[in-house]
Structure 1
């Protein structure tokens, strides 16, 4: 068995979804921790193959002590050069750790549903990228020194970034299955009324069209990502 992957979640009901299933198929055990519920993060990652920090309904700018502590903790995988992947909130916490700004759009537009992304030249080796990916966010992050853009979007520019050799951030949600997408829509229907949020019927149509490509991309991306720590 390969060394475990550390998966950081932010609510009791949160699931690592497709990322967890793929990592297990690839031979990794999972070490799941939830800092808001009192789980401590390790002092070293010598025993882990990588770290994935997932999303949540909170903002990266919130003043909660656990959130600041988690943001500060990200310096550990950066320093030890352990593969790090931030997804949505996780990517925004990485950006905050690196000194970048996290904020919403001035016009209040969000991204919820399947929206297109385009790979940059730097992102080409991590493809083939899906045409559309699943989003659920109202804030995005800016780039700072050392960040390399891998994929861009029309309304939130930075959709995928790399920092150094081993740290990556994704603004979108490749881990989300149809079941999770449905649960999110049912638990927060008011958010589907925001500008930029797709109707649930359109999300289902887009999911049927683009989900398989997203899952295939994620599997290949995780292989490439995990290998950066070798």
Structure 2
């Protein structure tokens, strides 16, 4: 079977609704937390698919989280090799940084359900399944656009909400995987101040989750199913980096 590895930066941010289409595409999913002692020596180019989830930390907080710099170095090698990689929220910010972009604290907290404003590239990508679908946003950081990537969409608060490089590399600032996962309660308990800073309240956010969550996850699963079906592999490049690892 093909291998997929999930990197969790905090225990309450998992792959959630994306698990189903990844498994249905024939991937055997494994998971590692950045707190695991084995993480520091993990070869990130090895899995057939790498999935990096979210977290409350910022890419620029490397003094507080020393593993960020180590992960960025190894992630850069994977992206240079064009290996299939998905980043969600903090994971997307890590991908942007590894590709040379600046990641920084934005002027607004973006917390709540609203659609992605897809551009022409987004409409012609797997993100087309999200058109007009309110999905969960929960972040305060943003990034400049890396070189040689395609921006796919924006929101009413942030210009960049997704990008891709070729068919294999996809970065999503939003959370179309969340809407049916009980860990949503942990998010509210962990970051109630973010909801308030974004101008919302807990009751309204829970109501929006109940209203939009199932539709968002269904659309997110279609997006991921299409994305994983169109990977382009380069046997020559793969064999070269595998030889170096050995």
* TM-score of the two chains, using structure 1 as the length reference: 0.88
State the distance in 1 between where 2:44 and 2:144 align: 28
Which residue is equivalent to 1:190?
A: 193
State the distance in 2 between where 1:191 and 1:42 align: 33
In the TM superposition, what whole-angstrom CA distance separates every residue of 1:101-144 from its partner, at most 9, and x where no partner exists? 112234xx201121332111001122121432101111111112
Which residue is equivalent to 1:171?
A: 173
Cα pair 1:135 1:172 within 8 Å, conserved: yes
Equivalent residues in 2 for 1:203-214 (5 A)?
203-214=205-216
State the distance in 2 between where 1:14 and 1:132 align: 20
Which residue is equivalent to 2:77?
A: 76
Q: Does residue 1:30 correspond to 2:32, yes or no? A: no
Runs of 4+, deviation exceeding 4 Å: none
Residues 27-36 or 155-164, more deviating: 27-36
State the distance in 1 between where 2:88 and 2:213 align: 17
SS of residue paired to 2:175: coil
Give unmatched runs, 5+ long, in structure 1. Answer: none
In the TM superposition, what whole-angstrom CA distance separates every residue of 1:59-112 from its partner, at most 9, and x where no partner exists? 111113211111111123223322111100010011111111112234xx2011
State the distance in 1 between where 2:97 and 2:42 align: 20
* TM-score of the two chains, using structure 2 as the length reference: 0.83
Which residue is equivalent to 1:120?
A: 119
Which residue is equivalent to 1:43?
A: 43
State the distance in 2 between where 1:36 and 1:93 align: 17
Give the helix-richer structure, 1 or 2: 2
Shift, 1:171, TM fit:
0.5
SS of residue paired to 2:174: coil
Cα pair 2:12 2:183 within 8 Å, conserved: no
Cα RMSD (Å) of the superposition?
2.0
Equivalent residues in 2 for 1:95-174 (5 A)?
95-106=96-107, 109-125=108-124, 126=126, 127-130=128-131, 131-174=133-176
